[in-house]
Each structure stands twice: as structure tokens, then as C-alpha cells.
Amino acid sequence: MRSFTLIDFVSLFAALRWTIALVVLAIAFGAPLALGLAMGRISRFTGLRWAMAGLIQTIQSVPLLGLLFFFYFGMPVFLGIQVPAILAVTVAYTLYTAAFLGEIWRGGLEAVKQAQWEAGACLGLSAWQQFRHIIAPQALRLSLPPTVGFLVQLIKGTSLASILGFVELARAGQVVSAATFQPLLTYALVAAIYFALCLPLTLWSRSLEARLDGSR
């Protein structure tokens, strides 16, 4: 046993890199996929709608831990290929993000009145122009609070990656706590760091909401 020192402090912050890296990877790959899923869900092609709904439903009903296990431990078993840990977590978090953000954004898109599409169509705009300039901006504002809510979930959800050996914030906390025998201090610090990560997001979302809603 030793006392809590600057080294421990630094190691917690160093581990924060992984937390952030995982979030960035999940968003970078998951968000475009989510947009595709959301658009597929509101498509006029029934088959596509069903396929997207099935995909989302499947991913959503598997626990995130299950996804991580599946891609890291399951792939070698089922397909006989050893997947690097970083690839496994990226795929798992990407799918997780895509499924949940996709549903959030679909809700936003559907909340914009059908008549708005029609008004655009009547002015001679293409379907893409209607989406890009009329529907998406309105849907974005409607979806912002749940989107940021999901981001906060995602940040905390990265702690599960420790299962596959990633020393991210939560895992680093465990290590430091075990070494220093000061769990209360350590976990309070870990909690404070998570809080410091999530609070600006929430504040940013509020200001963005106000700005996007220029009319009020």
C-alpha cells in the first residue's frame, strides 16, 4: 500500500485518453451509420424500412457488454478470425451508437410535419433538397436533447471496454484504488472527471438549442 500521489492523478488523466478515443471512434463511425439507418427507417421502400427496423431492434436488444463479447470473443469462435481488441470495440461501439442515435434521429425526422416535405416538393425541390434544407434542420433541433443525452450515456458506457483490457478512466480508477487503498478518494475523483466531461456537453446542447431556435 502507498499513498495517493501525483502519479496516480496523472494515470487517471492518462486513462481519460482511451475514454475520449472510444467516444470519438463511436461517433465518427456510428453517426454516419445512424443517419443512414434513420433515413432508411423513413424510406418509402417497405423492405428497406423493415430491414433497418430489424437491425436496430436487434442491436438495441443486445446489452453493450454482449456486443463487446460477441465481437472480441465470439468472432474467433464463429468465424475463426482473431479480431484485434481495438477493432472489436470500435465495431461494437459503432453499432451501439448507430442503433440508438438512428432511432433518436428517426423520431426527430418523423416529428417534422409531412406538410413540410410537401411544401418543399410544391416549390420544385428535389427529395434530397427537401431533406437537407427543410426537414433535417428542424429534426436536428428536435433531436438535440436526446442526442446529447445519448452522448453522455456513451461516455459512461466506454467503461465497459475495460473488460477487453482497455485501461480507460473507470479501469484506471480500479487500478489506482487497489494500489493506494483509497477507493473513496479515487472513485470520487473518477466521478468528478466523468462529470467534468459530461457537463459541458449538456451546457453546449442547451446553448445550441437556443441558437437553433432563432425564432424564440
Partner 1 sequence: MALVEIRDVHKTFGKVEVLKGVSLDVEEGEIVTIIGRSGSGKSTLLRCINALESVDTGEIRVEGRHVHARMPDLKKFRQRVGIVFQAFNLFPHLKVERNITLAPLLTGRIDKARARALAEDVLARVGLADKIDAWPEQLSGGQQQRVAIARCLAMAPHLMLFDEVTSALDPELVGEVLKVMEAMAKQGMTMILVTHEMGFARNVADRIVFMHQGRVWEQGSPAKLFANPETPELASFIASAK
**Binding residues for partner 1 (CB under 8 A):** 113, 115-116, 118-126, 129, 133-134, 137-138, 141, 212, 214-216
- What Rg value do the Cα atoms of the chain yield, rounded? 21
**Nearest approach, Cβ of residue 139 and partner 1 (Å):** 10
Q: Which one, 88 or 135, has the nearer CB to partner 1?
A: 135
- Could you give the angle at the alpha carbon of 95 between the alpha carbons of 187 and 129, nearest 5°? 120
Full DSSP string of 29-61: HHHHHHHHHHHHHT-S-HHHHHHHHHHHHHHHH
CB of 51 to partner 1, least distance (A): 25
Task: Tell how far CA 110 is from the center of its chain.
Answer: 21
Give just the sign of the alpha carbon dihedral 29, 32, 36, 42. Answer: positive
Nearer to partner 1, 81 or 216 (CB): 216
DSSP state of 163: G
CB-CB contact of 189 with 173 (8 Å): yes
Residue 98's identity, in one-letter code, is: A
Q: Is the CB of 135 or the CB of 190 nearer to partner 1?
A: 135
Of residues 46 and 114, the one with the C-beta less far from partner 1: 114
- 3-state class of 135 per DSSP? helix
Q: How far is the CB of 138 from partner 1 (least distance, A)?
A: 5
Phi, psi of 45, rounded to the nearest 5 degrees: -90, 115
CB of 78 to partner 1, least distance (A): 45
- For residues 78 and 99, what is the distance between their CA atoms, to the nearest angstrom? 23
- Min CB(46)–partner 1 separation in Å: 17
Copy the grid coordinates of residue 151: 452522448
- Work out how close the CB of 132 gets to partner 1 at its nearest, in angstroms, rounded to a whole number: 9
Closer residue to partner 1 in complex, CB, 59/139? 139
| Residue closer to partner 1 (CB basis): 35 or 121 | 121
Q: How far is CA 144 from CA 89, 108, 116, in A?
A: 26, 9, 20
